[in-house]
Amino acid sequence: MAASKDILLAKIRNGSAMTGREQLRLSFLLCMPAILAQFSTILMEYIDAGMVGRLGAEQAAAIGLVSSTSWIFGGFCTASSSGFTVQVAQRIGANDFVGARSVLRKSFTSLLLFSSCLALLGVAISGSLPRWLGGGEELWNDASAYFAIHMAFLPMMQLCYTTGMMLEAAGNMKVPSFCNVLMCLMDVGFNYLFIYGLGMGVKGAAIGTGLSHLLTALVMLWFLLERSPELSLHLDRREVATPRDRSFLPDEDTLQTAFGICGPMWMQNIVMRGAYIISTLIVAPLGTIAIAANSFAIIAESFCYMPGYGMEEAVTTLVGQSVGARRKDLARRFAHISTAAGALMMTGLAVLMYAFAPQMMGLLTNDAEVIALGARVLRIEAFAELMYGVSIVAYGACVGAGDTLMPSVMNFASMWVVRIGLALVLTPRFGLVGYWVAMCIELNVRGLLFMGRISGHKWLEKDILNKEKRTIWRRQKKSV
């Protein structure tokens, strides 16, 4: 299976013809380990939520209150990693492995410094955050403690994201997948120890998750630097690599290119996650039951995301390497095949979610009111999963091509105009049900926007590698 994947990836880099069947096969070879990784990550969230949910509705609501802000900080980290991993994928597609390793080195220095600054900011605001978000005073202590500990581990989470995404950029989905399963198992053990064994409650959940990310990051870092056939730093001993290529100090060209990719993603993160915070403010006045049901329903729904986000990771790699190999027609076909497959798989899981909504909520909490309300909104959301799948996978295709500005604008319009606008009207009248109806409509609109985007040609117009070559040439000309 691994040999088949490597043969098909080599066809992209070497300019060989690929049939539609081969493209579909390669998409699934890459996405299945990624789906397994998504499953383990979601299962970890389920375990965290289930363990905390057994402590009571207030503890669950405390985590739910700050979760949207945690996503903002995490979103900055993943977007920043993409700024470098897209460059690595395109260089590998162009058979420029020395250049790929050069970007890899510079990414570590840049991203660890960036995430450390974010962590300091997060810890600094943790004490006031629950009050800013409109949570009841009974939630403040647990919510602040959970958020502060989560932020303290942010650099290790950044390292975990980056090492996994770098391996995926090279087409290695198995190692990140295995490590995510390992992280899930460690999370179970650490959470049981800290939440129940040491009686730390909500704080224990944050510590357990942080330690799981730390150990997983170290395992993937070792494999990336020592064993990766494309990105191991030992390979530069056998290949021609300049001192500039071997340096860990970020250079202007790499940072400019990274910012060109992740800058719009940062803005999108602020826009999207900021909208989630506004959503929290809209839901918070509905009370503890609504906050807990909303938080648990989001976690329960995430099982539908697995194939979408797994296919997103695969198509980012496939489009990135195809663009780097100067094969834009191939990149477009990968985008269309992967988007259709991801959306259909999510639709199948949506049918199961509709049928077993009460049972899914029951795994997370034993509060009957929370289960009933959560099941009701999950069944509403089932009607959004088809087009949500389109938006997830199509966005991954755009990222692989370096097209991040227009997708960010589209997400802004969809989230702030459609979702928030409808939520402000429907939530006061229909409670949490009204908010989820607004979400369902918005996700369908977003899917239509992204379907239109990848149907055209403009998303493939950005040329990262040629832009960098032109910049270097101009500088050399000026120095002469």
How confident is the model at residue 479, as a pLDDT? 41
Q: Is residue 369 scored above 50 in pLDDT?
A: yes
- Retrieve residue 354's tokens: 């509709």
**Residues found in the chain:** 480
Within 325-420, where are the H helices?
Answer: 328-355, 357-362, 368-381, 385-400, 405-412
Whole-number percent of the chain with pLDDT over 70: 93
What is the rounded distance in angstroms from the CA atom of residue 397 to the CA atom of residue 394?
Answer: 5
> pLDDT of 408-431, one tens digit each?
899 989 999 999 999 999 999 999
Q: What is the dihedral of CA 77, 79, 84, 90, to 10 degrees?
A: 150
Q: How many helices (H) and strands (E) does the chain have?
A: 20, 0
Which amino acid is residue 146, in one-letter code? Y
CB 280 within 8 A of CB 8: no
Q: Is residue 164 scored above 60 in pLDDT?
A: yes
How confident is the model at residue 117, as a pLDDT? 96
How confident is the model at residue 423, as a pLDDT? 93
Residue 15, Cβ density class (10 Å: 0-12 exposed, 13-18 middle, ≥19 buried): exposed
How confident is the model at residue 472, as a pLDDT? 43
- Retrieve residue 214's tokens: 């730390």
For residue 463, what pLDDT band results from cuts at 50, 70 and 90? low
Residues 6+ apart with CB under 8 A from 224: 104, 163, 166, 167, 231, 232
Over residues 388-396, the mean pLDDT reads 95
Q: What is the mean pLDDT of the chain?
A: 86
What is the rounded distance in angstroms from the CA atom of residue 412 to the CA atom of residue 9?
Answer: 34
For residue 441, what pLDDT band results from cuts at 50, 70 and 90? very high
Q: Is residue 228 scored above 70 in pLDDT?
A: yes
How confident is the model at residue 69, as a pLDDT? 83
Prediction pTM value: 0.75
Over residues 322-326, the mean pLDDT reads 89
Residues 6+ apart with CB under 8 A from 473: none
Most confident of 50-64, 277-291, 420-434: 420-434
> pLDDT of 15-40, one tens digit each?
888 888 888 888 888 878 777 777 77
Q: Which residue has the tokens 């629950």?
A: 130
For residue 474, what pLDDT band results from cuts at 50, 70 and 90? very low
How confident is the model at residue 477, as a pLDDT? 42
- DSSP letters, 156-174, are HHHHHHHHHHHHHHTT--H
CA distances from 392 to 84, 222, 367, 385 (A): 20, 30, 32, 10
Task: Average the pLDDT over each of 114-118, 124-128, 172-176, 238-242 and give the range with the smallest value.
Answer: 238-242
What is the rounded distance in angstroms from the CA atom of residue 344 to the CA atom of residue 28?
Answer: 13
